[in-house]
Amino acid sequence: MVKSFEAQKLSFSIDGEEKIPAIEMVGTIQHIQNIIFHLGDYFYGNPSRPKGDFPQVIKDSCTLFVTNIEMGSVHAEMQIGDAQVGITDLGTLGERAICATNELIETLSHADVSKEELGEIIKDPHRLNKVLKEFYLMWPDPQSKRSLTFGFSGKVEENLNPEQKEVIRSILRKPVEEYEKEVFGRVYELRVDKNRRIQIDTPEGAIDCNFTADIEEDIKDIIGNIVTIRGVMKPSKGKFVLSIDSEVSIERNSRYYLASIKRDEIEVKLKEEVPIDIEFEDDYYIASNDDLGLLAVQPKMKLLIEELKGQLNVLWQEYVLADEEELAPSGKDLREMLISIVGA
């Protein structure tokens, strides 16, 4: 389906004084751009990184371009430069980031907004904190003579209530708490000094995991193996580290379940998870699903899962979007299987 260009647009106005400092206009643009980048990065499926620039694919899809500026007070109209055509109701990556920004502003405007409510929009607590910091820096102070309004998708601009800035600050002051997490991957590094730490190569990338002294022998026994580990993510020196204290938290398991794919650069949850058998041999992972004909070989788990998602998406495009009458009987069977897994 052809995308609606209204979904790409946003506008903002700064009013209240005869002269608006240019640095304030530039700052507003930078903060809203960072928010769009963070949300695009989140919807693309990337984990929140402690530092560093955004990937080029995010910049390509989510960079804002100024299309009109009216001076006096400041009124700016902007839109993303994402030129792709959407094939799902979710729209493109940039459109989804724009919509989520609008949803966050609406939610932050509620007097009784909670972090849990915001967590329904951004489920990654680290990413949510980074987005909230950008909103806090952009949000007008109660003492300010200037007002800031935002409009999305061609709709009337709404005022950012200065009284909500303190509410945002109070939410930000709440630390990201410990949370339970299940990790699938290969254990490939061991430290048995006082830190007692292993590293796990996972679909998200490398994850550090601390363990207690009483399970050290159990840990040594899984080095080099593909496992599922259940533990608690705890803050440690600016990042989160998985912690386990029982051997029952560890399960040897070489079967991964693919739960999503990327369609139109957006992470989309599958209707049915796809089982993937994974082996590690000669420094490479080998993954397969015989029913769908998936086969991937990669040196890193993250690359492996990304390739499998890409293959499944290609199959979906070739068999589900194709004219069913042109498919052979085996192709029609595969098409029905893909619809049950991915959707029509």
Average pLDDT for 211-215: 90
Query: Which pLDDT band holds residue 2 (cuts at 50, 70, 90)?
Result: very low
Q: How much of the chain exceeds pLDDT 90, in percent?
A: 47
Spatial contact of 248 and 231, defined as CB atoms under 8 Å apart: no
Give the CATH fold of the 179-252 domain: OB fold (Dihydrolipoamide Acetyltransferase, E2P) (2.40.50)
Residues of the chain with CATH 2.40.50.140: 179-252
Mean pLDDT over each residue of the chain, to the nearest integer: 86
Q: Does residue 84 surpass a pLDDT of 70?
A: no
Query: Which pLDDT band holds residue 5 (cuts at 50, 70, 90)?
Result: low
Between the CA of residue 221 and those of 52, 102, 181, 216, what are the distances in Å? Answer: 36, 50, 22, 9
pLDDT at residue 4, as a whole number: 52
State if pTM tops 0.75: no
Ranked by mean pLDDT, the top range of 146-155, 162-171, 266-275 is 162-171
Q: How far apart are CA 35 and CA 80, in angstroms?
A: 13
Spatial contact of 266 and 93, defined as CB atoms under 8 Å apart: yes
pLDDT at residue 240, as a whole number: 83
For 20-24, 51-55, 72-76, which range has the lowest pLDDT when averaged over its residues?
72-76
Question: Which carries the bigger pLDDT value, residue 155 or residue 6?
Answer: 155
Residue 42 parent element (H or E): helix 22-43
pLDDT at residue 134, as a whole number: 95
| Secondary-structure percent of the chain, ordered helix, strand, coil, rounded to 5 | 35, 30, 30
Spatial contact of 90 and 266, defined as CB atoms under 8 Å apart: yes
The model's pLDDT over 170-180, given as tens digits with 9 standing for 90+, comes to 888 766 667 78
pLDDT at residue 71, as a whole number: 65
Average pLDDT for 51-64: 86
pLDDT at residue 85, as a whole number: 38
